[in-house]
Amino acid sequence: MKKTFALLLSLMLCIAAFAGCSPAAPEPAATEPEAPQAEAPAEAPAAPAEPENVKVDKLNVYFVPSREPEEIVTVTEPLKQLLKDEMAKLGYDIGEVVISVGTTYEAVGEALSAGTADVGLIPGGTYVLYDDGAEVILTATRDGLSKDSDNAKDWNDGQPTEASDKQAVSYRALMIAGPSEKGQALAAKVNAGEELTWEDLDSAKWSVMGSSSPAGYIYPALWLQERYGKGITDLKNAVQSDSYGSAFARLASGQVDVLLTYADARRDYVEKWNTEFSRKESIWAETNVIGVTAPIYNDTVSVSKTSPIMDDAMIAALQDAFINIGNTEEGKAVIAIYSHNGYQKALPEDYDNERAAQKLILELSNAN
């Protein structure tokens, strides 16, 4: 038994020794590292598609009749293409720009309120009167004048009023006496340094514009109220003219003795005074300023609050378009019909003084 056990133990030791002396398993042969695969070039991201312009079938632009309607339509014809080109750059394709001249200032205000006019080039007084339906977006800038005194006599040196290179955002209204006997008598008193009486003024025949015209009605009415406690409606002989052109024709013919207009409208009628109106002397020799109002804030570009095509983006584009047009020679030639030289962005509060003027006019009208 002991021999058997010893034999088994010896056998087991031999097996163990043999296993320990056996050669080690060969290590796997080293393999060459694979060459890195070249990455495929990344595709450039596609450029975002340009947004398409907004399509607008028609843009209705209205002007007030401060000049002869036919003249306004003719001179402003290039504005149609200028607006289309500028608006296209700003994201709007306008199919047609239609330019109209209202029969009166009030007619343009009503068109803006009704939405039949999308854009209106109107005075501040007209804007304020219709600001429930119209929104001011721009104020016109004008060339200043060589004369800007509030003393009427200073305008009557017989020399032309010239444009200056200084831009102005306001202008004055003038009361201009013509070559009639009464007109000359009024001018003689003013040029002699004498104050005109209410009786002097009330005995004259006057040409006035519509009641929303700042230079042709509102500010002269304030001038009369401040000095005489009277208004235009108190004048015995006042007729409304449909344009400044017809007012100057009446002045030249002696149908009226005094007209109300912007400073200095005589510059626009130098040639017609001698041709169409058949006067012998120059307009500077035959007319005199007898009254000068306080400064008036310039005309507006206003838009309709009820127009179906008008929104904030459209307004912003129109602002930039008109400003850009006013910065070109071709554009300046068009807007010169209103003595505009360019445009700057406007706010409703810019015309608060105009609102005060309108309030006074309303009070004066109701009192009468």
Is 168 in the same domain as 213?
yes
Is 249 in the same domain as 160?
yes
* CB < 8 Å & 24+ apart, contacts of 154-158: 155/264, 155/288, 155/289, 155/292, 156/187, 156/190, 156/191, 156/288, 156/289, 158/284, 158/285
Name the one residue in this structure whose structure tokens are 């009628």: 269
Residue 293 burial (10 A CB sphere; 0-12, 13-18, 19+): buried
Enumerate residues 6+ apart whose C-beta is below 8 A from 138.
300, 301, 319, 322, 323, 343, 344, 345, 346
Q: Residue 186: helix, strand or coil by DSSP?
A: helix
Q: Which of 309, 327, 320, 355 is nearest to 137 (CA)?
A: 320
Q: Residue 281: helix, strand or coil by DSSP?
A: coil
Q: How many whole angstroms separate alpha carbon 274 and alpha carbon 239?
A: 24
pLDDT of residue 212: 78
How many domains in the chain?
A: 2
Is 251 in the same domain as 266?
yes
Q: Are 111 and 120 in contact (CB under 8 A)?
A: yes
Is 271 in the same domain as 201?
yes
Domain stops at, among 243, 277, 296: 296
Is 137 in the same domain as 208?
no
CATH number, position 267: 3.40.190.10
E-strand stretches of 64-169: 92-101, 119-122, 134-145, 163-168
Q: Which of 156, 226, 224, 221 is nearest to 184 (CA)?
A: 156
Is residue 1 one of the residues assigned to a domain? no
Tokens at residue 37, please? Answer: 């695969």
The end-to-end CA distance of the chain, in Å, is 152
pLDDT of residue 106: 94
Name the one residue in this structure whose structure tokens are 């750059």: 89
Is 138 in the same domain as 157?
no
Digit-coded pLDDT (tens) for 185-235? 999 999 999 999 999 999 999 999 998 788 999 899 989 988 999 989 999
pLDDT of residue 223: 93
Enumerate residues 6+ apart whose C-beta is below 8 A from 210.
104, 105, 106, 216, 217, 240
pLDDT of residue 213: 87
pLDDT of residue 15: 40
Q: Are 174 and 155 in contact (CB under 8 A)?
A: yes
Is 121 in the same domain as 233?
no
Q: Residue 111: helix, strand or coil by DSSP?
A: helix
Domain stops at, among 270, 296, 322: 296
pLDDT of residue 40: 53
Positions of the chain with pLDDT lower than 70, given as ranges? 1-49, 364-365, 367-368
Is 291 in the same domain as 303?
no
Element (H, E) at 208: strand 206-208
Domain stops at, among 296, 314, 330: 296
Q: How many whole angstroms separate alpha carbon 270 and alpha carbon 274?
A: 7
Q: How many other β-carbons are positioned within 10 Å of the β-carbon of residue 200?
A: 16
Element (H, E) at 345: strand 342-345
Helix pair 352-367, 219-228: axis angle to 10 deg = 60
pLDDT of residue 360: 76
Q: How many whole angstroms separate alpha carbon 292 and alpha carbon 350?
A: 22
Kindly give the pairing relationship between strand 288-292 and strand 173-177: antiparallel
DSSP label at residue 360: H
Provide the residue range defining the domain that includes 286.
152-296
Q: Residue count of the chain, please give it.
A: 368
Q: Residue 75: helix, strand or coil by DSSP?
A: helix
Is residue 34 one of the residues assigned to a domain? no
Residue 77 burial (10 A CB sphere; 0-12, 13-18, 19+): exposed
